[in-house]
Amino acid sequence: MNQVVITGIGVVSPVGCGLNEFWSALVDGRSGIRAIENIPTQRLSTRIAAQVLDFDPDTHFSPKRVGLLDRFSQFAVVAARAAVRDAGLEIDEELALEIATVIGTGAGGHITIDDSYLKLYGENAAKVHPLTIPRMMVNAAASHVSMDLGLKGPTFTTATACASGTHAIGQAFHMIRSGQTPVAIAGGTEAGLTVGTLKAWEALRILSNDTCRPFSKNRSGLVLGEGAAILVLESRERAVARGAPIYAELRGFGMSADAVDLISPDPDGAARAIRSALVDARANVEDVDYVNAHGTGTMLNDRTETKALRSVFGKHADKLAVSSNKGVLAHGLGCAGALEAAAMALALHSQTVPPTANYEEKDPECDLDVVPNVARQTPIRSAISNSFAFGGLNAVLVMGRA
């Protein structure tokens, strides 16, 4: 089996669209959560989110082409271009036939849907934009990335809510490890910050009105975000042969289903996914130094994740550095796992654990070392990244130092 490494990373995030901006914000605990600016908020009870504010589609796409892409597809294409550029990857005709493109998203073109429904129901329009379906379909981002880069190999979308990006990277990892493809462009994208979507999330009564405080006793719920992260994955042999930069080695991937509840997470299901990932990586619990937690900032999720980690790691759980990126990035839904996978690769590369931002008060039911507010320079041999989605669908990646 091939060893799989990460040679390129591209991000579009609420804290910047360059790797340096992205990583420095995570390390500094500088949050991208702020008052909503891109949509009207008069009808909203929750008026904060982590928006990508420095993204101008006209700088990335021609006027003719920009109208073909919903915002979630725009994010994916720009992040994929950046990842390929970062990897120094030359894509010739032969390689283009083999490269896999696997992009996760939770909802697809929500902005297109919202705009169409506003015209149809709010303005009583007789028809909607003729490209409504191609813009909104969940596979649009994967298709646009493949067309933009000329990639003709296996191309598909994973849609598993908050685990979509992690499932996409995991599937691409298995394809390279088995020899099905030499290179994969994989990650997640989401742009669902619309009035309709936020009203739907408000109905669940799990959104915070101030900020996201993962694992803090006074946490008040999750905050929605948007963005994209795309990784270039390839076999170690190929990467070394072409002298590519290597951020980290992707070593294992685990999945599970809770089969219990559509909304409430189950610690047993989460634990099974973590164990499965460690088995896939042939790693012992003692090999893991860092956990990039799902850490949404809701009472139930953070408690459940703590139980799952203690179930898997036992006494070693006390030695783990556990941090959530969502205090900085908020919850990007389908792109969350991909942004967090990028963060974990950078953590291994720099041997730095980014902190859990906005942490204020210790919670006895989240009794882990959550690296509160201040980054930590420490040896990281192996790390895991957790994604636990609505519907009880769990995905976990294992990475190691390159």
What confidence tens digit (pLDDT) does each residue in 158-170 have? 999 999 999 999 9
Q: Does the active-site annotation cover 110?
A: no
Annotated active-site residue in 60, 167, 331, 349:
331
Q: For position 133, what pLDDT does the model report?
A: 96
CA distance 20 to 217: 31
What confidence tens digit (pLDDT) does each residue in 291-323 have? 999 999 999 999 999 999 999 999 999 999 999
Q: For position 138, what pLDDT does the model report?
A: 97
Structure tokens at 215: 């694992």
CA dihedral 343, 99, 60, 345 (to 10 degrees): 10
Confidence of residue 373 (pLDDT cuts 50, 70, 90): very high
CATH number of 4-241: 3.40.47.10
Q: For position 382, what pLDDT does the model report?
A: 98
Confidence of residue 176 (pLDDT cuts 50, 70, 90): very high
Whether 262 and 390 have beta carbons less than 8 Å apart is answered as: yes
Number of DSSP helices (H) and strands (E) in the chain, helices first: 14, 14
213-241 mean pLDDT: 98
43-65 mean pLDDT: 96
394-401 mean pLDDT: 98
Mean pLDDT over the full length of the chain: 97
Structure tokens at 26: 């995570």
CATH number of 252-401: 3.40.47.10
4-241 and 252-401: identical CATH topology:
yes
Q: For position 289, what pLDDT does the model report?
A: 98
Q: Does the active-site annotation cover 60?
A: no
CA distance 384 to 183: 22
Annotated active-site residue in 294, 335, 349, 366:
294
What confidence tens digit (pLDDT) does each residue in 116-170 have? 999 999 999 999 999 999 999 999 999 999 999 999 999 999 999 999 999 999 9
Q: For position 303, what pLDDT does the model report?
A: 98
Confidence of residue 105 (pLDDT cuts 50, 70, 90): very high
Annotated active-site residue in 17, 162, 212, 335:
162
CA distance 144 to 228: 14
Domain ranges of the chain: 4-241, 252-401
What confidence tens digit (pLDDT) does each residue in 375-396 have? 999 999 999 999 999 999 999 9
Instruction: Determine the 3-state secondary structure of 7 from DSSP.
Output: strand
Q: Does the active-site annotation cover 331?
A: yes
12-33 mean pLDDT: 98
Distance of CA 170 to the CA centre of its chain: 12
